[in-house]
Amino acid sequence: MKLLITGAWKCSENATNLLEKAGFETAFMPDERAGLPVAPETVDAAVCNGLFLYHNIGLFSRLKAIQLTSAGFDRVPVDVIKRRNILLFGAGDAYSQPIAESIINGVLQLYRESEFFSENRKRHVWEKKRTLKQLGGKNVCIIGCGCVGSRTAQLFSAFGCKVYGVDNTPRDTSAFLHVFKADEIRNALSTSDVTVITVPLCPENYHLINDDVFGVMKPGSVFVNVSRGAVVDEIALARALETRIFGAVLDVFENEPLSSESKLWDLPNVILTPHCAFISDENQAVLEKVIMKNLFSLIQNNSLR
């Protein structure tokens, strides 16, 4: 069984040895844009990120499984993969904890007005702030109840929040008080103090969050996007930040890097980070556990035969 591993995963020597003992013949490809190190028609499984942006998946005639190193599926031809019954694994489990922590951190920065105190510290100014908000007791709506959404729900619950989800096919509903169907999104948002987007980018989710959706959000609420930028209409978001919602926590944008001309840079009620919510000192160790678990499941289930 030939396994192609690209530079998207820094596979350890120990992991390589375990894979080879399990029966994988490993081939390494440091740069996904470079030439393939093996004939594509001999590859049974691949661990990659953007490999099929640069190489035609149609040439991989024996391919039975793909393990991505990203949480999202927007860099692979999902329609082709489904049509050919290729198993597809994401790596959301590897990033759910740091993303959830980043979300909580951003909301708390807005609620506790961290920027105000940071600026006063620079100026050596002692000034109390009487408009600080409390997170505990707030209603939180998470749109997208996969591994990232579920872990985020658990952390919000630990703060004493009431957490609801929106998802037609949630993996696990135990972290949510109730999960609404996608066509009930407006009902879910109308009473939510915090709205979090963790859905994948696909054609039906392009600009899922637009003027209409912002229009039904609870006035004074906080909006968080850690999924993909194109899920949100950024022009509509900027309008909502100026007229309806309290603030936004944004880690992803429709065009990255975010243009220096974007209005979002200068809005005072925005916590803005450069697509790094997933980053953690534990990333590589956790990612390796996720990948190895999925690869060994292929052996156990005879999925590569």
For the chain, percent of residues with pLDDT exceeding 70: 100
228 counts as catalytic? yes
41 counts as catalytic? no
Kindly give, in sequence order, each residue whose CB lies less than 8 Å from that of residue 95, ignoring residues fewer than 6 positions away. 71, 148, 278, 280, 283
275 counts as catalytic? yes
Structural domains in the chain?
2-90+282-300 (3.40.50.720), 93-272 (3.40.50.720)
Query: Residue 37: pLDDT band by 50, 70, 90 thresholds?
Result: very high
Taking only the tens place, the pLDDT of each residue in 247-263 is: 999 999 999 999 999 99
Catalytic entry in 256, 261, 282, 288: 256
Q: Given phi > 0 = left and psi -120 to 50 = alpha, else beta, which region is 228? A: beta
- What is the rounded CA–CA span in Å between residue 148 and residue 92? 6
**Average pLDDT score, the chain:** 96
Taking only the tens place, the pLDDT of each residue in 43-77 is: 999 999 999 999 999 999 999 999 999 999 999 99
Catalytic entry in 55, 228, 234, 254: 228
Catalytic entry in 275, 282, 288, 305: 275
Alpha-carbon torsion angle 49, 53, 55, 57, nearest 10: 80
Residue 100, SS3 per DSSP: helix
Q: What is the reported pLDDT for 289?
A: 97
4 has which bridge partners? 27, 46
